[in-house]
Amino acid sequence: MPALGLDHSQVSVVAPVPAEEREDHFAVRHGVRCAGVHLIVDVHGGHGLNDIDLIEATLRRCVDAAQATLLHIHVHHFQPNGVSGVAVLAESHISIHTWPDIGYAALDLFMCGKADPDACIPVLRQAFKAKRIEVQELLRGQSA
């Protein structure tokens, strides 16, 4: 571990659930069939962005809100500040990277099947008391 013990990782391998199949591993959005819905989310004016426990808990709340299935979660705290976190889902993934000194966090929420990434936005807004959240939607694999 690094010098001051401030830089650390938290890894959880979640117990395998009975159905880890991607039952329907495509998604339908606005009537468009695609491999997955990918939300690119920018949090501005956020708070708590250096708090690894808050960030892990928020990722888990997002997974629940989206009705997704968590397979694996990894969060990492950097020195002097900043957190990276990734939740691997049966439906794809959620990632977050934070720049606490400027109140900014970059997330991406990628989900296929019936999981609902939109449901994560209010969770993020509330968790980080964000002044502004921008969401860009990409429908991945439309032509696939």
For 28, phi and psi rounded to 5 degrees? -120, 125
* 93-132 footprint of a second copy as x/- string (CB under 8 A): x-x-x-x--xxx-x-x-x-x--------------------
Classify residue 47 by its DSSP letter. Answer: S
Residues in contact with a second copy, counted by CB under 8 A, come to a total of 51
Is 9 considered catalytic here? no
Give the nearer residue to a second copy in terms of CB position, either 7 or 118.
7
Instruction: In whole angstroms, give the CA distance from residue 32 to residue 124.
Output: 26
| Closest to 64 (Cα-Cα) out of 16, 117, 101 | 117
Q: Which of 5, 11, 30, 31 binds a second copy (CB under 8 A)?
A: 11
Annotation marks residue 62 as catalytic: no
Per-residue CA distances from 110 to 9, 36, 37, 122, 138 (Å):
23, 7, 6, 16, 9
The Cα–Cα gap between 92 and 74 comes to: 14
Q: Where along the sequence are the contacts to a second copy (CB under 8 A)?
A: 1-2, 7, 9, 11, 13, 16, 18-22, 25-26, 35-36, 38, 40, 42, 44, 71-72, 74, 76, 78-80, 82, 84, 86, 88-90, 92-93, 95, 97, 99, 102-104, 106, 108, 110, 112, 136, 138, 140-141, 143-144
Catalogue the active-site residues.
Answer: 92, 97, 112
